[in-house]
Amino acid sequence: MERRKPKAVFMAFGTKGDVYPLAAIAAAFACDQKQFHVMLITHSAHESLSAHLAEKHVQYCPVSSPPVLSADQNNDTEGNAESSFFLQKRKVRRDHRQECYSLIERIFGDGPSLDGDLIVINFFALEGWSLAESFRVRCIVAAPYVVPYSAPATFERQFQIELPLLYKYLIDAPSGKVCWRDVIHWMWPLFTENWGSWRNDVLHLSPCPFTDPVTGIPTWHDRPQSPLVMYGFSKEVVECPAYWPPKVLACGFWFLPIEWQFTCKKCREISVCDSSRHKYDKDDLCPSHLELQNFMKTTPIFVGLSSIGSMGLLKDPRAFIYVLQTVLSTTNYRFILFTAGYEPLESMVRTIAAEASSEQKTCRVDCVHLFNERLLCFSGSVPYGWLFPKCAAVIHHGGSGTTAAALQAGTPQVVCPFMLDQFYWAERMHWLGVSPEPLSRNHLLPDKNDSTSVQEAAHVLSLAIHDALSSAVKARAAEIAGRILLEDGVSEAIKYLKEELGLN
């Protein structure tokens, strides 16, 4: 039978902060454009999204690859660890791409594509670009963060030498067509051997995009449009510079539906939200979480590193907790620590609690008090929009989602970046005046659990918190929050998608 319903595939890989914002857009698009069959392709590790997506009529399509592959997860002997990890990574990548190809073939391989068909990818799903080309489907990029990597300094020079005709093709591109600015902004990895051999051997495309698969000559006769790139951040925080391609657009931050952010169903039912303004009708949690609710009345400092643990970067959880304990011993602060489901950290929390069981109090399986009830360790999840306005400051890793939530709450920040775009956000927050200078990772996560390392880290962290709580930083955070509250990034993204598809 002839297919009559267009398909919108959202393909997002990476950690929760990379995937969930695109899932939110997929859900909003499905609600707005009911004539589409909407799907999300992501890791099976994000299976908790499936029920939320089903409520919005979005089909969840899992692949088995892990969100992150850490070298520390490899248990081989030290001498063979590096080569073993390389082989494991190559196999995971091969299997991942095969699963993606099989899914897209099932979705779009049932006949000619329709005008409305599209694939929306994030920067960790670049296979979607080549798959869209193979199945003749429009591809759009949507990312909650700026490009997390830059082209090597020698990239343009090498490109000119090895692909002179294609370089001229891109430099001389007419307005509105794909051009060199697109390549240097985000497309450049697509021209590496990492993708070239897969495109050629599996998809039977030319190794280089925009070239003929037989002759290798640029497709002068069929120039594609410059692709739409949507960013999920506020123009009040990041202004798109003039050297970016003209079809790069900032939508505003992509906040998740509130009901997705509670691990406790009863808390979710109580805290009904007016989603248009991200405000709560009730400020209460369920009776099982009164300890958490009461602790927040003390205006603690939030500490959370999200997926940093699962990436293998939190090597010594005990040293990390001792840094927090040392800060508490010399200040009047209270901390609420989100363990983010990282089992080694949660296990260490339970161990320390057991070691001091005579003086500590445990209230629930997901809530553990330490150090005379001045540190509350929480293994569940509540919306940052509910939590951060009740915090004195937010200490975090610089992930785009946590950064956005702290900005929206008007809460001062202390940022300790570890990788990719986190360094950008950390520097940006300092430049905006909502946080002190970024911390080095050893000032939050010491490499050694010895007195000197812990004391030094605690001293630097205490100074950073002191600076974050200054009146100037508080005022600046409140000022920017006032501007961000006027935006609705998800609705803006839907508007841009509809304009691109000619649905308005």
b/e sequence 457-496, b meaning 16+ C-beta within 10 Å:
bbebbbebbebbbeeebbebbeebbeebeebbbbebbbbb
pLDDT tens for each residue of 219-273: 998 899 999 999 999 998 988 888 899 999 999 999 998 888 888 888 888 765 5
Tokens 């392709």, located at residue: 41
Give the distance, in angstroms, between the CA of residue 140 and the centroid of all CA atoms in the same chain. Answer: 17
Instruction: Using a pLDDT cut of 70, give the percent of the chain over it.
Output: 92
Tokens of 104: 């897209």
313 has a pLDDT exceeding 70: yes
pLDDT tens for each residue of 439-492: 999 999 988 888 899 999 999 999 999 999 999 999 999 999 999 998 999 999
The helix/strand/coil state of 63 is strand
Q: Which CATH class is domain 276-484?
A: alpha beta
pLDDT tens for each residue of 280-309: 555 788 888 888 889 999 999 999 988 888
- Residue 493 is predicted with a pLDDT of 97
SS (H, E, C) 96-143: HHHHHHHHHHHHHCCCCCCCCCEEEECCCCCHHHHHHHHCCCEEEEEE
355 has a pLDDT exceeding 90: no
Of 25-34, 146-155, 156-165, give the lowest mean pLDDT range: 146-155
Compute how many other C-beta atoms are within 10 angstroms of the C-beta atom of residue 354.
11
Residue 120 is given by DSSP the state E
139 has a pLDDT exceeding 60: yes
Answer yes or no: are the C-beta atoms of 418 and 308 closer than 8 Å.
yes
340 has a pLDDT exceeding 90: no
Its sign, for the CA torsion 203, 207, 211, 217, is negative
- Residue 258 is predicted with a pLDDT of 86
Instruction: Using a pLDDT cut of 90, give the percent of the chain over it.
Output: 68
Answer yes or no: are the C-beta atoms of 397 and 441 closer than 8 Å.
no
pLDDT band at 71 (very low <50, low <70, confident <90, very high): low
**87 sits in which H/E element:** helix 81-108
- Name which of 376, 386, 395, 381 is nearest 335 in CA terms: 376
Answer yes or no: are the C-beta atoms of 170 and 180 closer than 8 Å.
yes
Helices 400-409 and 471-484 pack at an angle, to 10 degrees, of 100
Answer yes or no: are the C-beta atoms of 27 and 53 closer than 8 Å.
yes
* Domains 7-253+488-501 and 276-484 in one fold: yes
Compute how many other C-beta atoms are within 10 angstroms of the C-beta atom of residue 260.
19
319 has a pLDDT exceeding 90: yes
Answer yes or no: are the C-beta atoms of 438 and 398 closer than 8 Å.
yes
75 has a pLDDT exceeding 60: no
Domain residue ranges of the chain, discontinuous segments joined by +: 7-253+488-501, 276-484
Answer yes or no: are the C-beta atoms of 413 and 303 closer than 8 Å.
no
- Residue 83 is predicted with a pLDDT of 76
**Mean pLDDT estimate for the chain:** 90
SS (H, E, C) 404-418: HHHHHHCCCEEECCC
Answer yes or no: are the C-beta atoms of 60 and 38 closer than 8 Å.
no
Q: Which has the higher per-residue pLDDT, 169 or 1?
A: 169
b/e sequence 207-242, b meaning 16+ C-beta within 10 Å:
bbbbbeeeeeebbeeebeebbbbbbbbbebbbebee
Q: Which fold has domain 7-253+488-501?
A: Rossmann fold (3.40.50)
Q: Which has the higher per-residue pLDDT, 404 or 79?
A: 404
